[in-house]
Amino acid sequence: MTTRIVVGIGGGVAAYKVATVVSRLVQQGKQVDVVLTAGATRFVGPATFSALCGRPPVTDVYDSRFPLGPHIELADGADLLVVAPATARFLGSCAQGLADDLLTTLYLACECSVLMAPAMSSTMWEKPAVQRNVQRLLDDGVQFVGPTRGWLSCRKQGLGRMAEPEDLLAAIDEKLN
């Protein structure tokens, strides 16, 4: 049976790297559904992911192509939910169980494993509130890949860089096998 992965993309500069991840997953024969947050659409375009996946990305909770709601239909039968970059906003909403957009609602609706790749400035990542949210999600069974230390888009070196596409793909592979 075809492996089905839902890739959620958050609003950070690192979103452009997720195109590589999606392309590689599709080349591996996996069915990939992409969900873009409102923030993500400011960084990457739906046309890129439509073409890479052969299916349009979903951005709206009330998308009429999904009579049961995209959060229900995309979660149904998914093998893995991957969120990259996972923003501070997304982590906070998930940690609190808030269904405040499509991606957080989908997270709550998913029965499959969840892999998150956070990305943000080191100041944001090290903020106690963010670390509390990460700990809560770890306690809830979410798996994390990264962040790593390195060049950040705020033009500083620090901890908060999203895992590289290769590392994300390796973590996805490990999770699926």
Quote the least distance from Cβ 100 to ligand FMN, whole Å: 9
105 binds ligand FMN (CB under 6 A): no
Instruction: Report cis status (omega within 30 of 0) of the bond before 85.
Output: yes
Q: CB–CB of 155/145 below 8 Å?
A: no
Strand order in the sheet with 80-86: 31-36, 4-9, 80-86, 113-118, 143-144
φ/ψ of residue 170, rounded to 5: -65, -40
Instruction: Report cis status (omega within 30 of 0) of the bond before 128.
Output: no
By CB under 6 A, how many residues form the interface with ligand FMN? 16
Nearest CA among 89, 114, 49 for reference residue 59: 49
Residues 4-33 that bind ligand FMN (CB under 6 A): 10-13
Q: CB–CB of 108/61 below 8 Å?
A: no
Residues 41-100 that bind ligand FMN (CB under 6 A): 85, 87-90
Quote the least distance from Cβ 152 to ligand FMN, whole Å: 8
Q: Alpha-carbon distance 17 to 94, whole Å? A: 23
Residue selected from 31, 37, 105, 133 as contacting ligand FMN according to rule CB under 6 A:
37
Q: Alpha-carbon distance 34 to 145, whole Å? A: 19
Nearer to ligand FMN, 11 or 146 (CB): 11
107 binds ligand FMN (CB under 6 A): no
Question: Nearest residue to ligand FMN, using CB?
Answer: 39
Residue selected from 120, 137, 145, 169 as contacting ligand FMN according to rule CB under 6 A:
120
147 binds ligand FMN (CB under 6 A): no
Q: Is 154 a catalytic residue?
A: yes
Nearer to ligand FMN, 25 or 117 (CB): 117
Residues annotated as catalytic (active site), given as ranges: 154
Which residues of this protein are in contact with ligand FMN, per CB under 6 A?
10-13, 37-40, 85, 87-90, 101, 119-120
